[in-house]
Amino acid sequence: MAPPAHKKRKLFPPPVGNGDNGISYNMDSEESSVEYSKVAKGTTSTRSSLPTRKQGKHCSTPAPNGAYNLSMFQLQVDELLSEVRPHDGRMIKAENALRKLKSIIERIPNREPKAVLQAKREQHDSHTARIPFPNPRPEKDAKYMLAYSKPANINVVGSYARKTAIQVGDQLGIDLAVTMPSVRLIPRVFAQMLTHTKSVFQEKDYLNYRYFHKRAYYLACIATAIEEAEKCTFVINYVYQNDNHLQPIIAVSPGDGEDDFSRSKCQIRIILAAEGATFPLSKTLPNKNCIRLKAEGGTSNDRTTMPTPFYNASLRSECSSLAYLKHLHGASLQSDSFADACVLGSVWLRQRSRGTGLASGGFGAFEWACMTALLLQGGGPKGKPMLSKGYSSYKLFQATLQFLSMTDLVAKPVLVEADAVDVSAPEHPVLFDGARGMNILFKMTPWSYAMLKHDASGTLKLQNDPLSDHFDACFVASLNDPKQRFGSIVLLPLRQLRASATQTADAIGDDMAFCRQAYQVLKTGLGDRVSLIHMKPPGKPAWSPASSKQHPESTSRIQIGLLLNPEQVNRTVDRGPSAEDKEEAAAFHRFWGEKAELRRFKDGSIQESLIWSQNDPRENVLEQIVTYIIRRHIREDITGA
């Protein structure tokens, strides 16, 4: 952690602390993570890998009267839009690969329903690809069956299909969605006639991970077919879609000969989807519970009733893949500027290390597009549109930023085409799409939402400055380096951290559950010493389908960025509740333990208090607090990373 400074931002602060307690206070190494959910990887340079403007061309200089030259700005935007889009000529090989993969998947024979143990044994004995079951894995005596039936359809989805993808940096992501079949969509008499439409799901499969277990088996069947296909040299790996451990997918990299699509500079991702009516919307609303596990030592009747919004939205997102493709296509037909506004949003997000994945904040190009489309449809007073279909691309981009900056989606959730639905989620933002039954911000966290609002407000502030370079501030200047964004950075070794059962009750995964726990502790302990706390877990690495170990021992660390309040950060005395307030005083003691003491102050008041040393050569005040509360509430015996 860098020593607190009086300046608002300190570039490349010197290392402080020896790290013996396992809490690193400096960025002594770069975190490496594969971010498959982002269209292009972020950079950590102060200047991005975006196409730089040629000297003397479209120069963004102030006009003679001091006002920013808007015509020059529009030229720069137009040039940016043309340069970040993929070149059609380079995508031929990738599109040939998509056709080949589609053909392989269409030829996969059906597998009859089998008990979980039998299906797992046959897959293990006859093929190299393992079944990437999420945790908790299915029980050996599970009553449901695993099966494979031909897909209902196979479609290219995502930003590439919508023509809003950007190719800046290393790789472009192309999503090939394979829709698993469900006979709920067709009359029973026809379902009996169409053997290729056998459903792999049952009515109650939305409960207790059953859908995700069946999904994992279906994915293994596809991986097996690609690995065993003749004259196929594609390299495949499993990877988590958007860092969500419930949603493993197949990442396809170029092979040899005709399977070499490396010139396209892309990666193909085979994702799974379910048909829209597989499960009723009412069963997966944010306030519903879909994980009904036995209580410890209890019976099957001892079930939790805690809502599981993350689990529910993960399932609903699988059932709405094609619905969102159609919805966003419809928005582009209604607004001529919609597609270009989405490209601008993608670039803005990328320059701030934001993406759809959990590790990248849960708000990427897809969420930007969905939010803009929903606000073109509603979200305003009396259900009227928040945005105008007649806006230019930049005005639409700017209005979306303004919505993010000025609207508190935690205190006041926004519902579009949804009435009388309880979608509140404590400390989490909500933009609920009633037509598709999903909070599109379900992957966001309190800290990632606060950071998004902070970035949006900062960009708007620069745009309102008539002498600033608006284009540079929005789309060229990179904010990917955490050493430039935060006053202090804390690194915690992930391998020693474990979340409680309560934290993981909503299937968010151990890493994110721990981040939630640590965030609450730091928020309480640091108080007004910091204006913002940002948690960044490491990205999830890919693994071979032949590997049975999905989670290798992690050597990564959770990065915690702190925006400091210079007026309060070095305060050595904290005054707590009055001694007369028994309840508040007890809570203060529970949190601070032996550090809390009752003191009489000069004004005669008797209050709980905390005293920090200003002369400690090893740790400044902020470091003392962070070290103390992490050891007290997270892990007492934490050691070096």
More confident residue, 9 or 157: 157
User: Is pLDDT at 463 greater than 50 in this prediction?
Assistant: yes
From the DSSP assignment, how many helices (H) and strands (E) are in the chain? 17, 16
Structure tokens at 324: 């969102």
What's the confidence (pLDDT) of residue 27? 34
Residues with Cβ within 8 Å of 326's Cβ and at least 6 positions away in sequence, in order, are: none
Angle, to 10 degrees, between the axis of helix 510-526 and the axis of helix 446-463? 70
Helices assigned H by DSSP within 85-194: 92-106, 116-126, 158-162, 188-193
| CA dist., res. 365 & res. 456, Å (int) | 15
User: Is-contact 258 555, C-beta < 8 A?
Assistant: no
Q: Tell me the range of 186-195, 327-336, 616-625 where mean pLDDT is highest.
A: 327-336
Residue 190 confidence class, pLDDT cut points 50, 70, 90? very low
Q: Residue 178: beta bridge partners?
A: 154, 272
Largest CA distance in the chain: 87
User: Is-contact 538 556, C-beta < 8 A?
Assistant: yes
Place of tokens 């966003």: 328
More confident residue, 60 or 34: 60
User: Is pLDDT at 171 greater than 90 in this prediction?
Assistant: no
The closest alpha carbon to 275, from 346, 185, 167, 373, belongs to: 185
User: Is pLDDT at 377 greater than 50 in this prediction?
Assistant: yes
What's the confidence (pLDDT) of residue 7? 40
Place of tokens 């059953």: 210
Long-range residue pairs from 70-73, CB within 8 A, at least 24 positions apart, any chain: 73/394, 73/470, 73/471
Residue 554 confidence class, pLDDT cut points 50, 70, 90? low
Q: What is the pLDDT of residues 430-450, one digit of tens each?
A: 999 999 999 999 999 999 999
What's the confidence (pLDDT) of residue 574? 93
Q: Tell me the range of 32-41, 228-237, 549-558 where mean pLDDT is highest.
A: 228-237
User: Is pLDDT at 352 greater than 60 in this prediction?
Assistant: yes
User: The domain 70-84+324-480 is classified under which CATH number: 3.40.640.10, 1.10.1410.10, 1.10.10.10, 1.20.990.10?
Assistant: 1.10.1410.10
User: Is pLDDT at 167 greater than 90 in this prediction?
Assistant: no
What's the confidence (pLDDT) of residue 379? 86
Structure tokens at 469: 């370079």
Strands (E), 465-618: 488-493, 530-536, 557-564, 573-578, 597-600, 606-611
What's the confidence (pLDDT) of residue 637? 61
User: Is-contact 185 237, C-beta < 8 A?
Assistant: no
Residue 338 confidence class, pLDDT cut points 50, 70, 90? very high
Place of tokens 């693994």: 543
Q: Please give the angle made by the CA atoms of 510, 501 and 628, to the nearest 5 degrees.
A: 75
Q: How many residues does the chain have?
A: 641
What's the confidence (pLDDT) of residue 348? 95
Question: Where does residue 426 rank: exposed (0-12), middle (13-18), buried (19+ CB within 10 A)?
Answer: exposed
As a whole number, mean pLDDT of residues 68-87 equals 81
| CA dist., res. 44 & res. 56, Å (int) | 27
What's the confidence (pLDDT) of residue 170? 63
| CA dist., res. 286 & res. 430, Å (int) | 10
Domain 489-572+612-633 fold = Alpha-Beta Plaits (3.30.70)
CA distances from 34 to 346, 363, 467, 500, 541 (A): 18, 17, 39, 27, 6
Residue 618 confidence class, pLDDT cut points 50, 70, 90? confident
Helix (H), strand (E) at residue 349: helix 338-350
CA distances from 132 to 215, 251, 446, 553 (A): 9, 14, 30, 17
| CA dist., res. 636 & res. 628, Å (int) | 9
As a whole number, mean pLDDT of residues 146-152 equals 95
| CA dist., res. 381 & res. 487, Å (int) | 39
More confident residue, 187 or 511: 511
Q: What is the pLDDT of residues 570-594, one digit of tens each?
A: 999 999 999 889 999 999 999 999 9
More confident residue, 564 or 511: 564
User: Is-contact 476 50, C-beta < 8 A?
Assistant: yes
As a whole number, mean pLDDT of residues 477-482 equals 88
User: Is pLDDT at 111 greater than 80 in this prediction?
Assistant: yes
The closest alpha carbon to 376, from 356, 399, 394, belongs to: 399
User: Is pLDDT at 420 greater than 80 in this prediction?
Assistant: no
User: Is pLDDT at 545 greater than 80 in this prediction?
Assistant: yes
Q: Taking all residues of the chain, what is their mean pLDDT, rounded to a whole number? A: 83
Residue 504 confidence class, pLDDT cut points 50, 70, 90? low
Residue 72 confidence class, pLDDT cut points 50, 70, 90? confident
Structure tokens at 150: 């031909």
Place of tokens 């040629």: 54
477: DSSP letter = B
User: Is pLDDT at 196 greater than 60 in this prediction?
Assistant: no
User: Is pLDDT at 322 greater than 80 in this prediction?
Assistant: yes
Compute the Cα dihedral for 208, 210, 211, 216 and give only its sign.
positive
User: Is pLDDT at 51 greater than 70 in this prediction?
Assistant: no
Residues with Cβ within 8 Å of 610's Cβ and at least 6 positions away in sequence, in order, are: 573, 574, 576, 592, 595, 596, 597
As a whole number, mean pLDDT of residues 617-631 equals 90
Structure tokens at 558: 């959770």
- Range of weakest confidence among 297-311, 519-533, 547-561: 297-311
The closest alpha carbon to 566, from 515, 595, 596, 529, belongs to: 529
More confident residue, 579 or 32: 579
Q: Residue 487: beta bridge partners?
A: none
Residue 268 confidence class, pLDDT cut points 50, 70, 90? very high
Q: Tell me the range of 70-79, 451-460, 501-510, 534-543 where mean pLDDT is highest.
A: 451-460
pTM of the model: 0.85
392: DSSP letter = -
Query: In the chain, where are the structural domains located?
Result: 70-84+324-480, 88-319, 489-572+612-633
The closest alpha carbon to 355, from 225, 579, 536, belongs to: 536
- Range of weakest confidence among 274-278, 504-508, 556-560, 620-624: 504-508
Residues with Cβ within 8 Å of 443's Cβ and at least 6 positions away in sequence, in order, are: 242, 244, 310, 313, 356, 357, 358, 362, 363, 367
| CA dist., res. 357 & res. 448, Å (int) | 11
User: Is-contact 25 322, C-beta < 8 A?
Assistant: no
User: Is pLDDT at 341 greater than 80 in this prediction?
Assistant: yes
- Percent of the chain exceeding pLDDT 70 equals 80
User: Is-contact 157 177, C-beta < 8 A?
Assistant: yes
As a whole number, mean pLDDT of residues 459-473 equals 82
Q: How many CA atoms lie within 13 A of 230 on its CB side?
A: 1
What's the confidence (pLDDT) of residue 56? 34
562: DSSP letter = E
Helix (H), strand (E) at residue 414: strand 414-416
What's the confidence (pLDDT) of residue 383? 82
The closest alpha carbon to 345, from 331, 330, 359, belongs to: 331
- Say if 70-84+324-480 and 489-572+612-633 have the same CATH topology: no
Q: What is the pLDDT of residues 451-461, one digit of tens each?
A: 999 999 999 99
Q: What is the pLDDT of residues 200-218, one digit of tens each?
A: 999 999 999 999 999 999 9
68: DSSP letter = B
